[in-house]
Amino acid sequence: MFAFLGVLVTQDRAPLDSFDVEGKRLEDWADNSSAFIDFLRVVEVAFGTIGMTVLTVVLVVALLLRRHRWAALLAAVVMIVTSLATSALKVWLGRGRPDWQDNLGLLDSFSFPSGHASSTAAYASLLVMLLVIFVRRTSLRRLGISLAVGWWLLVCFDRMLLGRHFPTDVIGGSLLGIGVFLLALAVIDPRPRSTAAKAEPLPEVYASERRLAVILNPIKVEDVGQFRAVVGAMAKESGWSEPTWQYTTIEDPGTGMAEKAAVSGADLVIVCGGDGTVREVCAELAGTGIPVGIIPAGTGNLLARNLDIPLYLRAAIDVALNGQDRAIDLVRVGGDGIEDTHFMVMAGMGFDAAIMEGVNEEIKKKIGWIAYVVSGLRSLMFPAMKVEVQIDDDEPTVHRARTVVVGNVGFLQAGMPLLPDATIDDGVLDVVILHPKKFLSWIPLAVRVLAKSATVDELIDRRTGSRVRVKASADVPRQLDGDSIGEGRELWMECIHGRLLVRVPR
């Protein structure tokens, strides 16, 4: 399509003259508003060569930091080739600019294809591809795709409204950018590579029938049938038996399914769901010696993030099937008004629990983790409470605090390093007591947390121990692994060292 259009605009243009002249009408219409022209010039400069180069570097670096090397390579190749091809074709085809382009800052370079259109079309294609691969939530994926396409169209119309390009220049540039992307995609697969494909098989300590059980929270995956097909195919490739399937319910979020899998003699249990489902299954399988493979499909996915389990579905399945086993700690927890249970990641009383309690589930389904931000802003000035904290057999200490968090891992929601020294297999719990006295006190608190400051004072106090008891003077919100468990005055916790086997990347 691009080649055909290129021939038409450089040879006999008669068939396209009537179409291209529409560009003059667009430019005349835009000239009626000086403020609109100023906006169009901002768009022109922002997404010119320098702007698109900056955006490309940001995208490639972000992908590399998230260890998506092949996606980063694809992005770099697409944007570089698009830029070089656009420049070369401009010179080769040598089409002049429209006679009616804006008089202020006339461009005298060649016109076909539009560089703005080709670069934004290529970049938008990359964004759509990444959204399709890595974003599971349908509403967020659709929103992201709409924004990417809308941005590309804005830049295309900007070129015509300013009179910089004929409509066919913009169409040609868009076709070129999309064509380069599709050509590169046929050569470079942006998806994460399988660890099984590049690593030697791990030695088996004992011979097993490689029986596989999968526990799935069905509301957490977009297409249950497709998910089952992917797991079944990957399990067969990795030498596992045909998996048995069990679905969680509201009445049983995973405990009964995990017990059934253990009794049936499963050699590996894969659990797919949010932090709540993962917690229930792991607590039931603790001490059985059966490894748990985690497929993160929730909003927070705190345990998976702290174990470096990838959030990309196929990569997580690959780790569950072919990763190595790691013994991690489990935390026994109890308190007033709740039955004794376990958690994997954290427990909290006060502000952090108020956030979990205040999350609107409907909003959470639509926008994911942003719902926690909204709830956090509403709960920012949760009233200070008087708490008594006891570590192991030490004497209890009394504190004023807005929140107390006891963690088995270091990173909490949004990658916040609230407990930077915490390790999931050290047999120790880390405690942080936060007391910002005023609204503005949250700013230095956030700075110190992000900087992983070791300073301890009234604003941030830290403790460690294998047993922790927290008692408030009044009923306050409480949470376990991001799930609200209702108000109460007390939580006691005990770390059980190396109680659970989980599959992690090699």
> Could you please report the per-residue DSSP string of 261-311?
HHHTT-SEEEEEE-HHHHHHHHHHHTTS---EEEEE-SSS-HHHHHTT--S
Cα–Cα distance between 79 and 50 in angstroms, integer?
A: 13
Low-confidence residues of the chain, pLDDT below 70?
11-24, 26-28, 30-31, 100-107, 194-208, 358-381, 413-415
- Calculate the CA 31 to chain-centre distance: 43
Q: How many CB atoms lie within 10 A of CB 145?
A: 16
Question: What's the pLDDT score for residue 95?
Answer: 76
- Paired tokens of 249: 């319910």
Cα–Cα distance between 36 and 157 in angstroms, integer?
A: 13
498, 427 contact by CB (below 8 A)? yes
Residues in the chain: 506
Q: Which long-range contacts (CB under 8 A, 24 or more apart) does 366-374 make?
A: 366/137, 366/139, 366/140, 367/139, 367/140, 368/137, 368/140, 368/299, 369/299, 369/300, 369/413, 369/414, 371/299, 372/299, 372/300, 372/413, 372/414, 373/414
CA atoms within 13 A on the CB side of 15: 9
Q: Does pTM surpass 0.85? A: no
Nearest C-alpha neighbor of 260 from the set 274, 279, 245? 245
Using only C-alpha atoms, the chain has a radius of gyration, in whole angstroms, of 28
Cross-strand partners of 405: 348, 432
Question: What's the pLDDT score for residue 441?
Answer: 83
Phi, then psi, of 342 in degrees rounded to 5: -135, 160
Tell me if residue 141 falls in helix, strand or coil. helix
Task: Report whether the peptide linkage leading into residue 291 is cis, meaning its omega lies within 30 degrees of zero.
Answer: no
Query: H-helix or E-strand containing 342?
Result: strand 338-343
Residue indicated by tokens 């006190």 = 441
- Structural domains in the chain, CATH included, are 2-187 (no CATH), 195-322 (3.40.50.10330), 338-496 (2.60.200.40)
Cα–Cα distance between 98 and 91 in angstroms, integer?
A: 16
Query: What angle in degrees, to the nearest 10, is found between the helix axes of 224-237 and 313-322?
Result: 40
Q: Which residues lie closer than 8 Å to 499 by C-beta, 6 or more apart?
A: 286, 287, 327, 328, 329, 330
Question: What's the pLDDT score for residue 387?
Answer: 93
Question: What's the pLDDT score for residue 301?
Answer: 84
Phi, then psi, of 119 in degrees rounded to 5: -70, -40
159, 212 contact by CB (below 8 A)? no
Q: Convert the pLDDT of each residue in 35-72 to its tens digit.
A: 877 888 888 889 888 999 999 999 999 999 888 889 99
Question: What's the pLDDT score for residue 210?
Answer: 87
Report DSSP state, residue 348: E
Nearest C-alpha neighbor of 471 from the set 390, 377, 383? 390
Q: Convert the pLDDT of each residue in 231-288 to its tens digit.
A: 999 999 888 999 999 999 988 988 999 999 999 999 999 999 888 899 899 999 998 9
Q: How many CB atoms lie within 10 A of CB 205?
A: 7
Geometric angle at alpha carbon 313, from 307 and 317, rounded to 5°? 70
- Paired tokens of 412: 């909490």
Nearest C-alpha neighbor of 482 from the set 340, 335, 359, 313? 359
Cα–Cα distance between 193 and 243 in angstroms, integer?
A: 23
Residue indicated by tokens 């990838």 = 310
Q: How many CB atoms lie within 10 A of CB 34?
A: 9
